[in-house]
Amino acid sequence: MATNYWLIKSEPETYSIDLFEKEKTTAWTGVRNYQARNFLKQMNKNDLALFYHSGKERAIVGISKCVKTFYPEPIPGDETTWVQVDFSFIKKLKHPVSLLNLKQKKEFENLLFLKQSRLSVSPVSEKQYFEILKMAEES
């Protein structure tokens, strides 16, 4: 199965990369947006996801891997609408890649996340993914 690339977003106060690092694996729950949910459903095992901190930090801070494809997230009164996937922690970026940094580069013009900052799960192209990794090494 081809690897797809994603960006997942979290408020560090709610779920931070540090906690993720400690837990190693986490169920990605709480997505209550249909567009984001549909992206979750498209995720394959071993897909890679950039981990972004919203709020004060506004930077991509790490990388995670999908280790379990979508399964229902039952909530009271609605057992079937929402889904979760499992991610495992891969690593923190050496240098976080800030939102400002992304906005300055032409390569990210069509990055869905920049257009819809509220979307908690969004696709990233392979090229963009590796460009971000490169930026994390450099600066």
Partner DNA sequence: GCCAACGTTGGC
The DSSP secondary-structure symbol of 43 reads P
Contact flag: residue 25 with DNA (CB under 7 A)? no
Q: Which of 41, 45, 94, 103 binds DNA (CB under 7 A)?
A: 103
Q: Which is nearer to DNA, 70 or 82 (CB)?
A: 82
Query: Which tokens belong to 76?
Result: 């009271």
Nearest distance in Å: CB 45, DNA: 25
Q: Segment near DNA (CB under 7 A), from 54-62, 69-77, 86-94, 124-132?
A: 54-62
- Residues near DNA (CB under 7 A), total: 17
β-pairing verdict for 48-53 and 5-10: parallel
- CA 21 vs CA 25, 77, 121: distances in Å: 8, 33, 20
Question: Considering the complex, what minimum distance in angstroms separates the CB of residue 86 from DNA?
Answer: 20
Candidate segments 21-29, 32-40, 61-69, 87-95, binder of DNA by CB under 7 A:
32-40
What's the Cα-to-Cα distance from 15 to each of 12, 42, 55, 112, 116, rounded to whole Å?
5, 23, 12, 22, 21
